[in-house]
């Protein structure tokens, strides 16, 4: 049994990872300041989790969190392009400076490996598809810049200080516990909010922008493999399904699955958004054994059933 620290463990992906690890019989500690994470996301497992309440930029809290830890799954972030455009310094401090603080503490504590949750947003304006880890990054938002900066810090700590790190570039992760009420939530959770409240969803732009939507369970398997596969140390990997659909198609699928056929409201495209995104996951298949078993439609069914339980 190993001890895993999940930073941001009360958030969407973090709370899923906590349950994933507990189901595997591992020991789990969570570091969270609850600025975006929710206590109720951990309610049903709170007795099985060691919770450190604190901020990534608090050296005392971070040192306490990494003490005796074998692996760190670093999910803590302010995960929003629009919010980073409004508050770039806040985004940098949470996503870049906070990661540097964690890396320093993990290295000093002798942590075995740190797996960092990066983002497909680092590719930004580069129009080439699919996205390959070796292509030029052209971030379009402070959020993407901070994520890329933290990636570079991870690689430096691996090469310079001997702390094993792995960066995973997530592509549009969705699933249960993704906050649909946040103004900065992802499109899937915003569509769920529209379905639950029976109000028309909002689609920015013409809706033909495409994304590689990735169910959270696929991400959990990738994180676990990234902790243990020797070949992954020092690597950067795309985590997606290598399939893409448009936002319009996403809504039509969710409307069909839920039986809520609402006509979307159209609004202008948002600044900082990229038009198309698609992951090449060849490297993750090779080094992490990534095999996305749950596709978009099945993932949407599972997610919808979490928010809209079937009548008994």
Q: Could you list the active site residues?
A: 143
Please give the structure tokens belonging to residue 165: 């790190």
Nearest CA to 109 out of 209, 22, 31, 185 is that of 31
Residue pair 236/169 in contact (Cβ under 8 Å)? The answer is yes
> In a 10 Å sphere around its CB, with 0-12 CB exposed, 13-18 middle and 19+ buried, how is residue 166 labelled?
buried
Residue pair 31/76 in contact (Cβ under 8 Å)? The answer is yes
Residue pair 243/294 in contact (Cβ under 8 Å)? The answer is no
Residue pair 177/40 in contact (Cβ under 8 Å)? The answer is no
Please give the structure tokens belonging to residue 219: 């991400």
Residue ranges in the chain assigned as alpha helix (H): 12-23, 59-66, 81-86, 88-92, 98-109, 142-161, 187-197, 216-228, 247-258, 282-288, 296-307
- The Cα 169–Cα 167 span in angstroms is 6
């Amino acid at each position: 049994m190993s001890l895993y620290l999940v930073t941001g463990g009360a958030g969407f992906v973090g709370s899923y990872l906590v349950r994933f690890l507990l189901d595997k019989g591992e020991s789990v500690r969570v570091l969270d300041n609850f600025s975006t994470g929710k206590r109720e996301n951990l309610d049903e497992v709170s007795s099985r989790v060691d919770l450190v309440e604190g901020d990534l930029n608090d050296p005392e809290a971070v040192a306490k969190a990494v003490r005796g830890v074998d692996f760190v799954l670093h999910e803590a972030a302010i995960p929003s392009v629009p919010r980073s455009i409004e508050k770039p310094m806040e985004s940098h401090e949470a996503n870049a400076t906070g990661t540097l603080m964690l890396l320093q503490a993990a290295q000093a504590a002798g942590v075995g490996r740190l797996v960092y949750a990066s983002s497909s947003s680092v590719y930004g304006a580069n129009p080439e598809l699919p996205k390959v880890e070796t292509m030029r990054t052209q971030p379009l938002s402070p959020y993407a810049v901070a994520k890329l900066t933290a990636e570079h810090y991870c690689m430096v700590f691996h090469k310079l200080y001997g702390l094993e790190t792995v960066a995973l570039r997530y592509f549009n992760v969705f699933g249960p516990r993704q906050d649909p009420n946040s103004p900065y939530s992802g499109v899937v959770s915003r569509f769920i909010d529209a379905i639950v409240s029976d109000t028309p969803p909002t689609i920015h732009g013409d809706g033909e922008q495409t994304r590689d939507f990735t169910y959270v369970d696929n991400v959990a398997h990738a994180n676990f493999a990234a902790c243990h596969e020797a070949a992954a140390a020092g690597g950067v990997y795309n985590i997606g399904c290598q399939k893409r659909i448009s936002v319009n198609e996403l809504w039509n699928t969710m409307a069909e699955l839920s039986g809520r056929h609402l006509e979307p409201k159209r609004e202008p495209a948002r600044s900082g958004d990229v038009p198309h995104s698609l992951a090449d996951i060849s490297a993750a298949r090779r080094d992490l054994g990534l095999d996305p078993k749950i596709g978009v439609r099945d993932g949407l069914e599972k997610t919808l059933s979490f928010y809209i339980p079937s009548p008994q």
